[in-house]
Structure 1
Amino acid sequence: MLKKERQAYILHQVNLHNKVLSSSLCTEINVSEDTIRRDLQELSEEGKVIKVHGGALSHSFNQVYFSTNGVYSQNQKKTIALKAIGLINNGMFVLTSGGTTIIELARSLPPQLKATFISGSIPAILEYMHHPNIEVILIGDKISKNSKITVGSEAIAKIRQVKADICFLGTNAIDLMHGITDNDWEVVQLKKAMIESSKKVVCLSIAEKINSVQPIKVCGLDEIDLLITELPVTDPVLKPYLDAGVKVA
């Protein structure tokens, strides 16, 4: 297949699926990874795709789905993000889940930070790409439309190949008895894999999600190393968690 034909095929796949993986393109077109990498680089330079580690995204996907406006409880999430940033050091491998608190974390990273961020969250990946010194790795399989994060066996397998220094988990619900819970089975499996693949697990949660429960368990409180909220540590809402041995910031 000629280069022009290859690149036309790649563009068709990007427009059809909103993202492509380099590994899948190699198999479908029967060419080397270097060839696909060069094609994606050229298409990116021409402004036709957004190149990310491991593949590419469509511009329309970014524009339609990931507006920066209207983030719920944005000020609270910004406070959480600024607390979390203090845990990230140069040279770290950082796993992040999805959610708007993670987006605020991505937007708040200092420009001098040099680290590698690994995520299946498409909005987070797009934010990381604007950072001058961050290496970005997209873990991919199919995309959950509700959470805008890649899920499935391939994504989980890639996470299990990593030993991250720290993992930041966006949280839908946290409770003393049930731990961290969620309502999306596939996202839960992804979060479980992230926890298993990380040396340190940090749960990010706005206060209104504390003492709430969703149907599917992600992990127990004993599996997280730190809970970060927008509240001061002395807030009465957090006292039962401190009494239970949960570290809070």
Structure 2
Amino acid sequence: MLKKERHDFIMRQINLHNRVLTSDLVQLLNVSEDTIRRDLQELVDDGLLFKVHGGALSKSYHSSFDDSTVYARDSKIVIAKKTIRLIKDGMVVLIGGGTTILELVKQLPQHLGATFFTISPLVAVELAKYNNIEVILIGGLFSKNSQITYGGHVISQLAEIKVDLCLMGTSAIHPEEGLTDTDWEINQLKKAMVACAKKTAVLCISEKLDITLRLKVCPIENISYLITELEVEHESLAGYRAKELNIL
């Protein structure tokens, strides 16, 4: 595989999953670790990503103020506008982090009156711009990679609340394998988020459909809504419709 092809592949993985591990890229591309390290450094030098210990991160994942680097932003705005119909005045909502969630928060109606718990400081900052929204930031260890709080303290706090609706992004979803991820700590956190919600909605651009990663968060039956930019009857969603999942 040519270097440009490797770079394109790496950037696609970054755009889809917000982060990549060097070890995973070595296996996926069947090249040496030194080659991947050089590739990542060249992409860093080009200003396309952030290099961290063990891998790399998307630039768009680290700021709520710069929309120019958000991958598939138009699709995420469509998802955000669909999601808003689930959020009603007086609700208690638990909301995750990531670029799709940030787009959702930016699209909320100004008059909305609700309580939002969040594990994302960036999301909390955006929510604080709404006069009628109460914002509760769940504190704990802070992940420099994912820009959210995590760990046992966060999971303990989540176990003490019951919310009407949990809104989360995802790295991968599959009709048979359910919701999956690559990071152990984030995986445990998402399990706790699903457990404390009466209903859970997954916000997902269509490029993340039918993907399975190594750590299971929950089966598809634990998800109440799947929200993509696609039309409900799109053929790509047939497997999810067969599971009687509510699709927006």
Which residues of 2 match residues 157-196 of structure 1 at below 5 A? 157-196=156-195
Q: Distance in 2 between matches of 1:65 and 1:242?
A: 35
1:213 is matched with: 212
Seen in structure 2, the aligned counterparts of structure 1 residues 65 and 80 have a Cα distance that, compared at 3 Å, is closer
Structure 1: runs of 5 or more not aligned = 1-63
The answer to whether the Cα contact below 8 Å between 2:172 and 2:209 also exists between their aligned partners in 1 is yes
Indicate if the aligned counterparts of 2:115 and 2:133 stay in contact, CA closer than 8 A.
yes
CA deviation vs aligned residue, 1:9-41 (integer Å, no higher than 9, x gap): xxxxxxxxxxxxxxxxxxxxxxxxxxxxxxxxx
Tell me, in whole angstroms, the C-alpha distance in 1 between the residues paired with 2:145 and 2:246.
31
Q: 2:65 — aligned with what?
A: 67
What is the count of residue pairs matched by the alignment? 186
Superposition pairs of residues 29-108 of structure 1, within 5 angstroms: 65-69=63-67, 70-108=69-107
Q: How big is the alpha-carbon RMSD for the aligned residues of Structure 1 and Structure 2?
A: 1.1
Alpha-carbon distance, 1:244 to partner: 2.3
Aligned residue identity for 1:215: R
Q: State the Cα distance separating 1:153 from its structure 2 match.
A: 0.8
Which position in structure 2 is the counterpart of 1:143? 142
Amino acid at match of 2:86: L
Structure 1 runs of 4+ with >6 Å offset:
none
Deviations 1:169-227 (A, max 9, x none): 11110012210111111111111111110111111100000011111111100000111
Cα distance, 1:65 vs structure 2: 4.3
1:89 positional shift: 0.7
Deviations 1:93-134 (A, max 9, x none): 100111111101111110100001101112111110111111
Alpha-carbon distance in 2 for matches of 1:98, 1:215? 21
Q: How far apart are the structure 2 equivalents of 1:191 and 1:73?
A: 23
- Percent identical: 44
Cα offset for 1:76?
A: 0.5
Residue in 2 aligned with 1:123?
Answer: 122
Letter in 1 for 2:165: I
Q: TM-score, normalised by structure 1?
A: 0.73
Separation in 2, partners of 1:97, 1:190: 10
State the 1:66 CA deviation: 3.9
Q: Name the SS of the counterpart of 1:136 in structure 2.
A: strand
Q: Is 1:110 matched up with 2:100?
A: no
Deviations 1:39-62 (A, max 9, x none): xxxxxxxxxxxxxxxxxxxxxxxx
Does the residue aligned with 2:247 lie in a helix, a strand or coil? coil
Q: Match of 1:240?
A: 239
Q: Quickly say closer, same or farther: Cα 1:133–1:67, change in 2 above 3 A.
A: same
The CA deviation string for residues 214-242 of structure 1, in whole angstroms up to 9 with x for no partner, is 11111100000111100000110001210
Letter of the structure 2 residue corresponding to residue 95 of structure 1: L
Long gaps (5+) in structure 2: 1-61
TM-score (norm 2): 0.73
CA distance in 1, matches of 2:215, 2:233: 30
- SS in structure 1 at match of 2:154: helix
Query: Secondary structure at 1:146's aligned position in 2?
Result: coil
CA distance in 2, matches of 1:124, 1:187: 17
